[in-house]
């Protein structure tokens, strides 16, 4: 009977063919440069000095908290965001307080005051920071309200929201005096509307005096 041939044992150190790296073309070198530049820009943004924004946010929070207190005196409940429990330490609630030292005011991107009175849900005074296509940070103030509800076959009841643009300026060019003038006008009209127990004149004032902002539908929680 013929002997079976033994299979050759695999070489423990096989020679692996070495593939030479292709020379870098313009795409690779330019891509590397662009990625390095992008990384540097991202690092610069991370280390952005937010001292000015922190002071501006403190001003906004102080102003809106005072508005909150004035509305509370006539039995109208408003809520502030970020919550007062985060940014304030109270000696005597709600009038005597100081800013919390451990709260990062520069990290706040939205400051708003929302109406929680029955029939007024959706009425909100909002300030927020956004970046323009040119990369510049702006502060925008708007007032938002509910224009009613409608039923949609597939999404159910939806609130129809409208906005008036109150103020918009580059973050480093915000004129607090002008912003206060506008906020005073809006808050007085808002306050009067509650005393009259109807928002119709207030909404008409916003539509007449300020530029139209975004309109959109949001879910109505019934």
Segment 110-150, tens digit of pLDDT: 999 999 999 898 999 999 999 999 999 999 999 999 987 66
State residue 215's pLDDT score: 87
As given in the structure block, the two tokens for residue 75 are: 């039995």
CB 112 within 8 A of CB 81: yes
CA proximity to 72, closest of 115, 127, 112: 115
Segment 60-84, tens digit of pLDDT: 999 999 999 999 999 999 999 999 9
Cα–Cα dist 209/216, whole Å: 21
Domain extents for the chain? Answer: 51-219
Q: Give pTM, 2 decimals.
A: 0.76
As given in the structure block, the two tokens for residue 10 are: 């695999």
Cα–Cα dist 160/13, whole Å: 73
As a whole number, mean pLDDT of residues 166-193 equals 97
Name the helix (H) or strand (E) containing 194: helix 176-196
State residue 47's pLDDT score: 56
As a whole number, mean pLDDT of residues 175-187 equals 97
CB 87 within 8 A of CB 105: yes
Task: Grade residue 152 by pLDDT with cuts at 50, 70 and 90.
Answer: low
Cα–Cα dist 220/222, whole Å: 6
Segment 17-38, tens digit of pLDDT: 544 555 555 776 777 778 767 7
Neighbours of 101 (CB within 10 A): 6
Cis bond upstream, residue 106 (ω within 30): no
Q: How far apart are the first and last CA of the chain?
A: 90
């Amino acid at each position: 009977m013929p002997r079976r041939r033994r299979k050759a044992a695999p070489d423990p150190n096989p020679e692996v063919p070495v593939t030479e790296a292709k020379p870098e073309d313009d795409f690779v070198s330019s891509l590397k440069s662009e990625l390095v530049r992008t990384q540097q820009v991202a690092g610069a943004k991370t280390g952005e000095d937010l001292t000015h924004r922190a002071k501006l946010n403190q001003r906004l929070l102080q102003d809106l908290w005072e508005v909150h207190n004035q509305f509370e005196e006539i039995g109208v409940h408003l809520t502030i965001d970020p919550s007062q429990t985060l940014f304030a330490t109270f000696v005597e609630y709600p009038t005597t307080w100081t800013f919390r030292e451990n709260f990062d005011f520069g990290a706040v991107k939205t400051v708003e005051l929302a109406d929680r009175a029955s029939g007024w849900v959706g009425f909100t005074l909002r300030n927020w920071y956004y970046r323009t296509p040119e990369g510049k940070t702006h502060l925008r103030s708007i007032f938002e309200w509910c224009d009613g509800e409608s039923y949609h076959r597939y999404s159910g009841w939806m609130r129809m929201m409208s906005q008036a643009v109150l103020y918009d300026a580059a973050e480093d060019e915000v004129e607090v005096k002008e912003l206060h003038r506008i906020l005073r006008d809006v808050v007085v009209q808002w306050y009067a509307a509650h005393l009259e127990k109807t928002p119709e004149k207030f909404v008409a004032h916003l539509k007449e005096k300020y530029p139209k902002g975004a309109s959109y539908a949001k879910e109505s929680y019934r």
